[in-house]
Amino acid sequence: MTFTVPQHLEIEIDELVTHYPVKRSASLMVLHALQEHFGWISEGAAEWTAKKLGLQPINVYELVTFYPMFRQEPVGKYQIKVCRTLSCALGGAYGLHKQFCEKLGLDAHKHGPQTTKDGKFTVEFVECLASCGTAPVMMVGDKLYEGVSKAKAEEIVGGCK
């Protein structure tokens, strides 16, 4: 299957590249733009980026595999990220993660992000979200939720339409 980028996005990316002294320096920003549009970085997207920036595909794969913010597989419409670093772990993060997994029919013991069969939710643990004083903390997409109780977790999932 061929990977194609819509014209408006390619124009946006071409403009973005002009902000850097060398094309390679735009790699992360190009990947972010592609991920924002497609939701993840496919092999095709990585190869397209390499070609666009005059790089070898390995130069792009090493970024995609190094930075955890890049997705290497499709994700759900709602991405639930539960912080599991110390304050949140002590504040009940593992219970919250289990609650989400059980509610959405996912395996709480499985490693890495999991997406529901209908493609609506992805649930995963993440590291510190920089709000340790209000643990447990989680995000849905870009929205941060602090001091998340079991009841609040139910409300959060219920609010995802």
Q: Which residues bind ligand FES (CB under 6 A)?
A: 83, 85-88, 128-132, 135, 137
Place of tokens 């139910």: 154
Identify which of residues 13 and 80 has a Cβ nearer to ligand FES in the complex: 80
Q: How far is the CB of 106 from ligand FES (least distance, A)?
A: 21
Token pair for residue 52?
Answer: 């666009």
For the bound state, the minimum distance from the C-beta of residue 128 to ligand FES, rounded and expressed in Å, comes to 4
Residues 6+ apart with CB under 8 A from 48: 3, 5, 34
Q: How far is the CB of 120 from ligand FES (least distance, A)?
A: 25
Q: Which is nearer to ligand FES, 53 or 153 (CB)?
A: 153
Find the shortest distance in angstroms from Cβ 84 to ligand FES: 8
Q: Distances from the Cα of 8 to the Cαs of 11, 13, 30, in angstroms? A: 5, 9, 14
CB of 116 to ligand FES, least distance (A): 24
Q: Between 122 and 131, whose beta carbon lies closer to ligand FES?
A: 131
Q: Which is nearer to ligand FES, 34 or 126 (CB)?
A: 126
Structure tokens at 33: 């733009």
d(CA 145, CA 91): 14
- 94-99: long-range contacts (C-beta < 8 A, 24 or more apart)? 95/150, 96/136, 96/138, 96/148, 96/150, 96/153, 97/123, 97/125, 99/150, 99/153, 99/154
Judged by beta carbon, residue 65 or residue 149, the one nearer ligand FES is 149
